Amino acid sequence: MLDNLFIEGDFRKRAFYQIGGSIEHRDVNSTASVENKKIGAGESVDVKAPWKYGPYATTEEAFKRRGRDVSEFSELVGTDAADASLEGYIKYSLAALGAAIGNNKEMVVTADIATDGKKTLTKGLRRYGDKFNRVNLFVMHSTTYFDIVDQAIDNKVYEEAGVVIYGGQPGTLGKPVLVTDTAPVDAIFGLVPGAVTITESQEPTFRSYEINDKENLEVGYRGEGVVNVGVLGYSWDESKGKNPDLTQLGTAGNWKKHFTSNKLTAGVMIKLTAEEGK
């Protein structure tokens, strides 16, 4: 989820309560006293991750020689900056998800697409038990996606005279898939709504500027901003520092689970293995 909200400081902290109550048998003939049960409390922590774009520069001469206006430089780089920002947010999201979920062994399963087929995905859904429908999106590398589709095509139920019948919905069990080559090639994420939140917590700045201290006149372009990264059910460990880079966001020990129930957390990770020799 992409959000926009001004957040002061290096972290965003939110308090929450943990109850997890249930109804119990009541003895209508008893006069005994009962003990009060405590309500638990916790705190979720998102962390700020600063980023930069560029700087890029070009000479005015380079555009004039091609009969182009130098303002085109800012348009070209500005368009690329928008694409780079979105790709960067996806990288931050996947790094944090991989680290947080990967550090929770109860939400990590292994599978081999070649031998498990669709069970590759159901192995992950099983971790949610009766709440499996909370998983509403799979995220995977394009190589993994095509492996799943190929496997579904290969495992046809019936073929005669060129007519092929497949059993059920091929591929991904009817759930949408985000295919991105920024995802790890050896893992699939099964995610619930709001699994990861990227919040533009400070107004990003993009600047086009003149460079006048070179032999040839130049123009430059650069940008910078900050996002808060949060993972549902997990918190950034403040003892691991602030202003993390992509590597630190993706370090398993830097995230800790704060929800008691795994069924309320961001999702499941399906680690892909292959038979020896393949």
Instruction: Quote the pLDDT of residue 98.
Output: 96
Whether 7 is covered by a domain: the verdict is yes
Question: Would you say residue 41 lies in a domain?
Answer: no
Distances (CA, A) of 234 to 6, 101, 267: 21, 8, 11
Domain span at 6: 2-13+46-272
Could you list the beta-strand ranges (E) of 92-245. 108-111, 137-140, 158-160, 163-165, 177-179, 187-191, 196-211, 218-231, 234-236
CB 141 within 8 A of CB 184: yes
For 125-158, b where at least 16 C-beta lie within 10 A, e where not — what string?
bebbeeebebbebbbbbeebbebbeebbeeeeee
* pTM score of the predicted model: 0.82
Low-confidence ranges of the chain (pLDDT < 50): 157-160, 164-170, 276-278
Please give the pLDDT value at position 269. Answer: 97
In which residue are the tokens 């000479």 written? 59
Beta bridge partners of 189: 139, 269
**pLDDT (0 to 100) of residue 166:** 44
- At 6 the pLDDT is 87
Residue 20, domain member (yes or no)? no
CA-wise closest residue to 228 among 2, 43, 46: 46
Question: What is the model's pLDDT at position 16?
Answer: 73
Q: In one letter, which amino acid is 153? A: I
For residue 178, being part of any structural domain is answered with yes
278 within a domain of the structure (yes/no): no
184 inside domain: yes
Q: Which of 233, 241, 238, 239 is nearest to 192 (CA)?
A: 233
Give the span between the Cα atoms of 230 and 249, in whole angstroms: 10
Q: How many domains are there within the chain? A: 1
Question: How far is the C-alpha of 278 from the C-alpha of 274, rounded, in Å?
Answer: 6
> For the chain, what percentages of helix, strand and coil (3-state, to nearest 5) are there?
30, 35, 35
CA distances to 11, 88, 116, 197, 204 from 226, in Å: 12, 11, 41, 13, 7
* Residue reference for tokens 């007519």: 163
Q: How far apart are CA 49 and CA 242, in angstroms?
A: 8
Whether 123 is in a domain gets the answer yes
Question: Which pLDDT score is estimated for 39?
Answer: 75
Q: Is residue 28 part of a domain?
A: no
Partners of 258 in the beta sheet? none
